Amino acid sequence: MTLSRSLAVVLTLAVTAAVSRPTSAQQVGTATAVNPMTESTPPGATTVNLTVGANIVHKERIHTTPTGSVQLLFVDKSTLSIAPNTNLLIDEYVYDPKSNSGHMLTNLTEGALRFVGGALSHQGDASITTQDAAIGIRGATLTVEHNGNGTKVINHFGIITITNGAGTVTISRPDFFVVIPNWNTAPYQPERIKHEDNDYYLRLLTSQPGQNGGVPGLTDVTIGECGLGPRPSFNCPTTPWNTTGTAESNAFQTVIQGTQFGTSTTGPQQQRYRGR
């Protein structure tokens, strides 16, 4: 789920959700793509429908419905793509652009997300928690899913350290995953992810046919605005995914590059992924 560079114009207009937010709250990011219904609850404020361009603040809760999804861009250029049926909390976020330092902690209570690391991840100061484990991230792109069966962590690039009350496991190889059943059971050893499983998460974390990320006019190269027009963009899914190894890798690379294109992240991050 990604956006074209024309998003900058839209961001100046899409301020509905930001109006009800407390003025003292610390802004940590921006909603750069939103498919309905997605809701947010800033600290000390009521729950509102999230819209493209809304400020994301420290201690904000994000909730997506079965048809909702959202992409958040943080001030250190990290991104979170949040799947349908997901609940999470931006638990901690501190970033000093002058020193390029700080820390980020996201608590995932239900659902799935994809994290593309920015400056804080490169310093090893980004982490995601579930009730089953604490997930430390260094220069990484990863997918995390949490449900009643435990937590699943998939490494797409970088180094991920998973710790709970029973042990620690590190994933340093791309396309490997770890399952953590609960806090008191040690994380299982890394296994290579199946092509069909990677295919599932690619679909889950991408805008669905008929969705435009909350920005009318965003379109796909071949099928228009998911069926409605001639202007190209990276926002709509290209289906079906071919689940052969090479095509799967290319498909995920397209998602990452589209994310970086839409959020103006820089070329070196793309180069790191290509050279994995």
Q: Residue ranges per domain, the chain?
A: 76-274
Q: How confident is the model at residue 37 (pLDDT cuts 50, 70, 90)?
A: confident
- What's the average model confidence in pLDDT over 47-71? 90
Strand 27-35 and strand 69-74: the pairing is antiparallel
Q: What integer best gives the mean pLDDT of the chain? A: 76
- Checking if the pLDDT of 10 tops 50, the result is no
Q: How far, in Å, CA of 102 to CA of 126, rounded? A: 9
**Would you state the pLDDT for residue 215?**
65
- What's the average model confidence in pLDDT over 23-49? 84
Question: Which range (128-132, 190-194, 222-226) has the least confidence?
Answer: 222-226
Handedness of CA 234, 175, 139, 95 (dihedral sign): positive
Q: How far, in Å, CA of 164 to CA of 132, rounded? A: 7
- Checking if the pLDDT of 33 tops 90, the result is no
Q: Which carries the bigger pLDDT value, residue 87 or residue 260?
A: 87
pLDDT in tens, 159-171: 999 999 999 999 9
pLDDT in tens, 201-255: 988 988 777 776 776 654 444 444 443 444 434 444 433 333 344 444 444 444 4
SS (H, E, C) the chain: CCCCCCHHHHHCCCCHHHHCCCCCCCEEEEEEEEECCEEEECCCCCCEECCCCCEEECCCEEEECCCCEEEEEECCCCEEEECCCCEEEEEEEEEECCCCEEEEEEEEEEEEEEEECCHHHHCCCEEEECCCCEEEEEEEEEEEEEECCEEEEEEEEEEEEEEECCEEEEECCCCEEEEECCCCCCCCCCEECCHHHHHHHHHHCCCCCCCCCCCCCCCECCCECCCCCCCCCCCCCCCCCCCCHHHHHHHHHHHHHHHHHHHCCCHHHHHHHHCC
- CATH assignment of 76-274? 2.60.120.1440
**Would you state the pLDDT for residue 202?**
87
- Checking if the pLDDT of 79 tops 50, the result is yes
**Would you state the pLDDT for residue 217?**
52
**Would you state the pLDDT for residue 235?**
42
